[in-house]
Structure 1
Amino acid sequence: MPEPLPPAALPGRLQATFVPAEGALAWWGVDDVPAALRARGLPEGRAGTCALAAVVDDRVVPAEVPARLLDPDSALDADGDASVRAWRTAAGLARDRAGDDAFAALARTMPPAAHAVLDGDAIVAAPALLSRFREVLATRDALRDARLDVSLRPYQADGVAWLCSRDGGVLADDMGLGKTVQAICAFATRPGPHLVVCPTSLVGNWRRELARFAPDLPVHGYHGPRRALPDEPGVVLTSYGVLRSDTTALAARHWDIVVFDEAQQIKNPDARVAKAAARVTAATRIAMTGTPVENRLDELWSILRVTNPGLLGGRARFRQRFAVPIEQRGSATAAARLHQLVAPHLLRRTKAEVTAELPAKQHATVACTVTAEQTRLYREAVRDAFDTGFGSGRERRGKVLALVTALKQICNHPAQRLGDDGPLTGRSGKFDRAAEMLAEIAADDDRALVFTQYRAMGDLLVRHLGEVLGRPVPFLHGGLTGARRDRLVEEFQRDEHPVLVLSLRAAGFGLNLTRAGHVVHYDRWWNPAVEDQATDRAHRIGQHRALTVHTLVTGGTIEDHIARMHETKRALADVVSGDPATALAELSDDELHAVLDLGGDV
């Protein structure tokens, strides 16, 4: 690992090195970099450290160098030593859209300091770094022209540049770092048409995020019995199930960018859906997954067969060259050779690498779809309640509360509402999405707290998550003794459990769970203060990592209505901040039906 650079080893001259992971120029080399930048009329930039090659005692060693990070455009007006001049020249060539020959000539004359950034223990070659620099500048220009409602962090802007600069690859960032928003920005900078293939449980979330970040980008759903592909450009959303059944129709169209979200769905090369994905043609094919390899290297081969056909050769040859030597003999040579092949086509940033750019607490609303069973139960519950009538006064409040409770349970899982012991998967979009998210978090060696207000729902979650993760998942609830609660907290803090499910009320006080990098609110508590109090079990003194708070919301349901009211602080705010049954009971039947009816694209 790089060691901090001793102050005495600083070269004493302002240097500029392009750092692709930051999408920025790192300025370093003198004691007071901000003063040196001000003297050149430049902003001071962001404080940070970079892994660079530096000269210490006449040796070139990997070192953590204190630096200031500036947008690459700053090179246009900067002056300084040879490394600074090199990047000023590079920016000018990019601005003038110079050809490859001009950049090749510049690469041959670039001083080592200009490309001293490290990839592992190796210095990135000047041509490769110049290529990334051009990509970043071109993407920054395209993003400025696109109609987007988002401010990207530097690593995200670099991710967009990476996506737009290749024929295919795997975006494998940690959960919570914004893979979806990077893909949306890439869509907005290209003409389309684009295709997103994702689990059914994620279709609603994609629709919501596209409307939020790229409101002018046309979005079309390709699902349901009367589905048809649109003639106009934009983004088409479909599921892996539809891809499997409609392969011919989807493969007949040439897409600009196709994204396979939660690409572990295509990790089995023998599965029909993986073969269907391989038939889809596009200028750029991107797989998005935080876990490109979970169990076997065959999974990586299957995903890259879709995104980068031919890169790893045929399956039998791949197993002979890589899978068998690495998995059975632990061959370091084969592993290094595979890394060399795959690295240019796989972009992965971890939370630890970009922590300095992340706020202490990030909030993400995850829109979940409803299944056919949930749709039927939800509509039956609403219809039966309105057919029976609500009465007035205390009776009305009681019946409204009963209906709201029933609808929330249906959103959680039909098994919670019906009390059955049938299969769990495929019946609740929220349940399936939570399992997918938590499996990815555990695979990333991160930790998560999952809050639910229902004891029965917690039991269903731990039963299924134990099967998914292959290990018991504990449930902290009010029925446990104080000693048992304390033991579960200690075990979680010692990393004995990747996931801990908690009752929202039982977890409201007296717990310190700072090991968690994620909090998942499975079902919505109408008073946000209660949710915040639960979140603060993880986000408190002693928490040194960025925390991502995921709130699961079933699209088109009472959960979605209340979430939108809360976000926009518009009418019916009492439903959020006060007693929901009382506030809802004061509405007329027509107003109440508008709030509770199942709407949206379901």
Structure 2
Amino acid sequence: MASSVVARLADLDAAAPALRALDQRARVGASVRAWREAVLLLDDDERFARLAERMPTAAHAVLNGDGNAVTSAPALLASFRQTLSTRAALRSANVQAELRPYQVRGVTWLNTLVNQGIGGVLADEMGLGKSLQAICLLVSRPPVGPHLVVCPTSLLGNWRRELARFVPDTTVVVHHGPGRRLPPALPPGTVVITSYPLLRHDEPLTTVGWDIVILDEAQQIKNPEAMASRAAARLPATARIAMTGTPVENNLDELWSIVNVINPGLLGTRARFRQRFVVPIEQRRSARAVATLRTIVRPNLLRRTKDEVATDLPPKLHSTVVCTLTDEQILLYRRAVDRAFGDGLGTGFERSGRVLALVTALKQICNHPAQFLGGTVAETGRSGKFDRAVEMLTEIAKNQDRALVFTQYRAMGELLAGQLTEMLGAEAVPFLHGGLSAARRDDLVRAFQEDDSASPILLVSLRAAGFGLNLTRAAHVMHYDRWWNPAVEDQATDRAHRIGQQRSLSVYTLVTGGTIEDHIARMHAAKRGLAGVVSADDAEGALTRMPDDELHAVLDLDAGAFS
């Protein structure tokens, strides 16, 4: 008969010292006594195995990942034992970090896979410490061979610093630059760091018998035809581990590509995968296909969100700031739409190009006429969105707070930087974008995080924000213009909402009412409503495939939204 009882959840590996010290005569329940016995029997394989037979149900009544069943006693005991073993290995490796319980479980999960010669995808939400978990995996293993970390070029310095910070006793070799040369014999346990561009062309990397290969920011191997994907698949290793906060960014083919590098054959051939999953899920939204794919992928993919495991992080406070158009913007917007449809959009590739050019023009007009017209100065009074952004950022700076501002356009970032520098009357407001050197990027991040005299506003290219930035000093994030994929914007926001953030994070999304930006906002809401591994369709492609009348309805101004 089902009944309700009072219960308290406890993190068992964190509670192990107290359980070990518990007096046998203490008046505690059967569940606590069972777990005390588990701690004391860790080194007795036979008696530990028999403990599962008499463990009370309440002692292991923890819901599984889907929330539809409880974990069995043998499974939970095995996980408990493995986790304590991981903690002991990390102490022996002199790891200079206090891992959170979910991070210890992540390292345990990785070790369990690797010990079976199986690869995995660590897909924790950005900001939960994937790099630290990967480092702990490398140093908690018996030294049987060297390890390889492959990352974007911009993250080489970040990985070097993280290794020096967390595992200072580990030998690290940065394999990069014109004078690079791998030592003839790499001692076991050595960590070699290299970049994806180098991986494509550096044959010596494929001749080393690596123990673990870490593929950081594994979006770099999401295209199975790319040289980086093929080169990564050729690396000889005990196991390959992919790290990415977005295993599916645009379509399910990306998931297939990453998993095929990590565990070749797990998802079948690409053609079979498309037939079995891509078409049913992306075109028909088949719940059955989604469930089947999850079942196949789940053992090799670990995904935790901040809401699940980092409940001590302060909340994100989202708000949409609806902006109006100036008369100049209305004129430019209508003229662009009328001219495009009046001239005709054509067919095939010609149509796709013209539609995308029109969409880009409309987004730029929403940003500021100066961007659309190629101006070098963005005056106030010409763009409702620009004026509202400047007002908000000026107020944030006067309140001695710090803010990140993301834009997808380099030209817009430079226009914002010029106007904000003039308005704030301080040193130049910096703009971090892909054209900067890695050293300059590092300088901008360090100044924002550590220098009280530095600009309180940091402008960031949306794409440049994709890799390796830790900007937790910001209490505000502004998305100046919209990207098609909400996952990209979420990644950018999480540069500030990550471990180390002490305050609530205010996230402002600027939307120009009645325009293409309204359509993107609605599309974002639909995308975020999709479950699990399902990705949204190619939004730009979907626009190019619309009939003219539907497309015109999407792109034309809705006068009621801004009048």
Q: Which amino acid aligns with 1:129?
A: L
Structure 1 position 217, deviation (Å): 0.6
Alignment match, 2:192: 236
* Contact residue 96 and residue 167 of structure 2 kept, 8 A: yes
Structure 1 position 550, deviation (Å): 10
Alignment match, 1:180: 131
Distance 1:445 1:337, change over 3 A: farther
Alignment match, 1:121: 67
Alignment match, 1:300: 255
SS at match of 1:204: helix
* Contact residue 83 and residue 113 of structure 1 kept, 8 A: yes
Runs (5+) with no aligned partner, structure 1:
1-7, 19-23, 26-68, 362-443, 448-465, 510-519, 552-602
Q: Which amino acid aligns with 2:128?
A: L
Q: Deviations over 1:320-378 (max 9, x none)?
A: 322222122211111111111212221222222234344x59xxxxxxxxxxxxxxxxx
Higher strand fraction: Structure 1 or Structure 2?
1
Structure 1 position 523, deviation (Å): 8.2
Query: 1:90 and 2:38 equivalent?
Result: yes
Structure 1 position 207, deviation (Å): 0.9
Distance 1:90 1:298, change over 3 A: farther
Q: Which amino acid aligns with 2:135?
A: I
When structure 1 is superposed on structure 2, of 329-338 and 227-236 the one drifting more is 227-236
2: CA distance between counterparts of 1:197 and 1:228? 16
2: CA distance between counterparts of 1:270 and 1:498? 34
* Contact residue 153 and residue 357 of structure 1 kept, 8 A: no
2: CA distance between counterparts of 1:300 and 1:241? 21
Q: Deviations over 1:90-122 (max 9, x none)?
A: 3334344x26xx665443443322222222222
When structure 1 is superposed on structure 2, of 233-242 and 80-89 the one drifting more is 80-89
2: CA distance between counterparts of 1:83 and 1:527? 48
1: CA distance between counterparts of 2:207 and 2:84? 34
* Contact residue 128 and residue 499 of structure 2 kept, 8 A: no
Query: 1:344 and 2:245 equivalent?
Result: no
Q: Which amino acid aligns with 1:145?
A: S
Structure 1 position 265, deviation (Å): 0.6
TM-score between both structures, scaled by the size of structure 1: 0.53
Q: Deviations over 1:404-457 (max 9, x none)?
A: xxxxxxxxxxxxxxxxxxxxxxxxxxxxxxxxxxxxxxxx9999xxxxxxxxxx
* Contact residue 213 and residue 240 of structure 2 kept, 8 A: yes
2:451 to 510, 513, 528: 528
Q: Which amino acid aligns with 2:180?
A: R
TM-score between both structures, scaled by the size of structure 2: 0.57
Structure 1 position 226, deviation (Å): 4.0
Alignment match, 1:538: 476
2:88 to 128, 138, 141: 141
Query: 1:189 and 2:96 equivalent?
Result: no
Query: 1:257 and 2:212 equivalent?
Result: yes
Alignment match, 1:208: 161
Query: 1:499 and 2:406 equivalent?
Result: yes
Runs (5+) with no aligned partner, structure 2:
320-358, 372-376, 394-403, 408-412, 427-442, 458-472, 478-492, 502-563
Q: Which amino acid aligns with 2:164?
A: A
Q: Which amino acid aligns with 1:243?
A: L
2: CA distance between counterparts of 1:490 and 1:347? 42
Q: Which amino acid aligns with 1:89?
A: E
* Contact residue 248 and residue 255 of structure 2 kept, 8 A: yes
* Contact residue 474 and residue 488 of structure 1 kept, 8 A: no
Structure 1 position 536, deviation (Å): 5.6
Alignment of 1:502-521 (within 5 A): 503=417, 505=421, 506=423
Distance 1:527 1:136, change over 3 A: closer
1:324 to 261, 275, 279: 279
2: CA distance between counterparts of 1:353 and 1:531? 35
Q: Deviations over 1:523-582 (max 9, x none)?
A: 84798224484456529xxx9x9844999xxxxxxxxxxxxxxxxxxxxxxxxxxxxxxx
SS at match of 2:266: coil
Distance 1:107 1:253, change over 3 A: farther
Q: Which amino acid aligns with 1:183?
A: A
* Contact residue 75 and residue 88 of structure 1 kept, 8 A: yes
1: CA distance between counterparts of 2:19 and 2:269? 45
Q: Deviations over 1:470-512 (max 9, x none)?
A: 99996999853596456348999xxxx9935664755799xxx
Distance 1:72 1:211, change over 3 A: same
Structure 1 position 223, deviation (Å): 2.4
2: CA distance between counterparts of 1:185 and 1:199? 20
1: CA distance between counterparts of 2:499 and 2:21? 41
Query: 1:170 and 2:121 equivalent?
Result: yes
Structure 1 position 275, deviation (Å): 1.8
Q: Deviations over 1:104-147 (max 9, x none)?
A: 54434433222222222222333332332222111100111112
Percent identical residues:
51
2: CA distance between counterparts of 1:352 and 1:75? 28
Alignment coverage as a number of residue pairs:
371
Distance 1:127 1:280, change over 3 A: farther
Alignment match, 2:509: none
SS at match of 2:194: strand
Distance 1:523 1:77, change over 3 A: closer
Distance 1:533 1:316, change over 3 A: closer
Q: Deviations over 1:66-91 (max 9, x none)?
A: xxx94344333446333223323333
Distance 1:527 1:223, change over 3 A: closer
* Contact residue 521 and residue 550 of structure 1 kept, 8 A: no
2: CA distance between counterparts of 1:345 and 1:257? 15
Distance 1:529 1:88, change over 3 A: same
2: CA distance between counterparts of 1:287 and 1:528? 34
If asked which structure has higher relative contact order (CA below 8 Å, sep 6+), I would say: 2
Alignment match, 1:75: 19
Distance 1:86 1:317, change over 3 A: farther
1: CA distance between counterparts of 2:271 and 2:255? 14
2:101 to 151, 154, 160: 154
